Amino acid sequence: APVVWQTIDATHVRGEYTNAGYRIAAVLTFSDAGDLVSFRSDDRHQVDGVIDRQVPWLTPLSDYQMFGNARLARLGEAHWIEGNEAWAYGKFVLQDIEYNVH
């Protein structure tokens, strides 16, 4: 994918993707061990049927474990950030995964 990466510091990078005139960007945060622990974007729309607005979106990841040969986050959440508060609208628990299944 045509992603332009920018290093922010030792644990943060910014990725920007452009396609068909649309641009999205996010900041990815990694732990000192190299695990992805957060993805934040300001490009997501929150729509409630009346209001359509852009608010920051955050996906914290945690509890990294081995699933076969892959080290993956077992826990994840999806948060909206409104003002100084974040609230989870989705929580995910990875129990099992299969990939490259033919």
- Give the pair of three-digit tokens for residue 26: 């996010």
* Side chain identity, residue 52: D
pLDDT at 99: 81
pLDDT at 87: 86
Check whether 32 has a pLDDT greater than 90. yes
Q: Which of 19-23, 39-43, 51-55, 93-97 has the highest mean pLDDT?
A: 93-97
First-to-last C-alpha distance (Å) of the chain: 24
Cα–Cα distance, 39 to 53 (Å, whole number):
19
For residue 59, the 8-state DSSP code is -
pLDDT at 52: 81
pLDDT at 58: 93
